[in-house]
Amino acid sequence: MQLDLSGRTALVTGSTGGIGRAIAVDLARAGARVVVNGRTPKRVEEAAAGVRDETGGDVTGVAADVATEEGAAALAAAEPAVDVLVNNLGVFGPRPALEITDDDWRRFFEVNVLAAARLIRTYLPGMTERGWGRVLDIASDSAVVIPAEMIHYGMSKTALLAVSRGFAKEAAGTGVTVNSVIAGPTHTGGVEEFVRQMVGDDLPWDEAQRRFMVEHRPQSLIQRLIEPEEIAHMVTYLASPLASATTGAAVRVDGGYVDSIVP
């Protein structure tokens, strides 16, 4: 398959590392002009330069906290039109259910849900006017299998699925598709820290990962953490012209973690 995004501009939020950076690399390799985003100018500059060096692509960076109205407005001023919007920004972390505070609930909603909805509201009109566009919201298996140790996170990712489906209806018949990607347990720096929190700091990484999967994610059919590049490949396909008939969907890249025969 030729996943050609030449002539398209792709914005990936939260893309200075982890899944977001892998998506930026994959989109650049497909020919897109890629906008890397994060909150810290130095990290954004370094990440954009790294993606550019790795791919030889047209890569720029915009430092803006898109979890705020001011940050989203600054990003829109710097990049007023994009063809592919990847809402990857997200926060997560374990907390006992009865210790999740009102501020925790608000923060997870504002970062994981409202930031995505705000950027869709910003960029979708331009996409529909041009008759082509892609919106991809990076969700999680936790949207469907709510983790007991992260109810607030699961709630936010469930809400993100609803956001994606609703905006897909808003874009009906316009040539713009809106989908979410349900990512399973993925090997990122943040997840390594989370795994250590769950199984302890004294184990070699391979053993810690194996124990985490057995004890905390036993439903996984691949029985390992997913690599960020595996998520990125699905995002690039959904961003491409080849995925023109896929919209309003929640597409799984979860290693079989969600115990369902329905995608």
Q: How many CB atoms lie within 10 A of CB 175?
A: 12
**Distance between CA atoms of 62 and 119, rounded to whole angstroms?**
14
**Residues 47 and 169 reside in one and the same domain:** yes
| Tokens standing for residue 259 | 């115990």
**Residues 44 and 122 reside in one and the same domain:** yes
User: Is 153 a residue of the active site?
Assistant: yes
Place of tokens 């994981």: 112
**Residues 149 and 203 reside in one and the same domain:** no
**Residues 211 and 107 reside in one and the same domain:** no
Kindly report the pTM of this predicted structure. 0.95
77-122 pLDDT per residue, tens: 999 999 999 999 999 999 999 999 999 999 999 999 999 999 999 9
Lowest pLDDT segment from 25-34, 212-221, 228-237, 239-248: 212-221
Whether 154 maps to a domain, the answer reads yes
In this predicted structure, what is the pLDDT of residue 40? 97
pLDDT of 263 > 80? The answer is: no
| Tokens standing for residue 43 | 């990290």
Task: Point out the catalytic residue in the list 123, 153, 237, 257.
Answer: 153
In this predicted structure, what is the pLDDT of residue 190? 86
- Rounded to whole angstroms, what are the CA distances from 50 to 25, 45, 195, 236? 9, 9, 27, 19
Letter for the amino acid at 134?
R
**Residues 17 and 42 reside in one and the same domain:** yes
**Residues 94 and 218 reside in one and the same domain:** no
132-168 pLDDT per residue, tens: 999 999 999 999 999 999 999 999 999 999 999 999 9
Place of tokens 């994959």: 26
In this predicted structure, what is the pLDDT of residue 251? 98
Ordered strands of the 84-87 beta sheet: 59-63, 33-38, 9-12, 84-87, 133-140, 176-183, 250-253
**Residues 122 and 239 reside in one and the same domain:** yes
**Residues 146 and 67 reside in one and the same domain:** yes
Number of domains in the chain: 2
pLDDT of 238 > 90? The answer is: yes
**Residues 94 and 191 reside in one and the same domain:** no
pLDDT of 241 > 90? The answer is: yes
Helix/strand/coil for 195: helix
Residue ranges making up the domain that contains 210: 187-225
Whether 262 maps to a domain, the answer reads no
Whether 195 maps to a domain, the answer reads yes
169-196 pLDDT per residue, tens: 999 999 999 999 999 999 998 889 989 9
More confident residue, 189 or 19: 19
Whether 68 maps to a domain, the answer reads yes
**Residues 98 and 151 reside in one and the same domain:** yes
**What is the band of 228 on the pLDDT scale with cuts at 50, 70, 90?**
very high
Whether 206 maps to a domain, the answer reads yes
**Distance between CA atoms of 14 and 237, rounded to whole angstroms?**
20
pLDDT of 1 > 90? The answer is: no
Share of the chain above pLDDT 70, in %: 100
**Residues 41 and 164 reside in one and the same domain:** yes
Whether 191 maps to a domain, the answer reads yes
In this predicted structure, what is the pLDDT of residue 20? 98
In this predicted structure, what is the pLDDT of residue 262? 84
**Residues 146 and 213 reside in one and the same domain:** no
**Distance between CA atoms of 179 and 246, rounded to whole angstroms?**
8
Positions of E strands within 124-201 = 133-140, 176-183
CATH of the domain at 18: 3.40.50.720
pLDDT of 64 > 80? The answer is: yes
**What is the band of 240 on the pLDDT scale with cuts at 50, 70, 90?**
very high
Place of tokens 């109810």: 151
CB 89 within 8 A of CB 66: yes
Whether 4 maps to a domain, the answer reads no
Average pLDDT over residues 55-64: 98
Whether 107 maps to a domain, the answer reads yes
**Distance between CA atoms of 229 and 175, rounded to whole angstroms?**
27
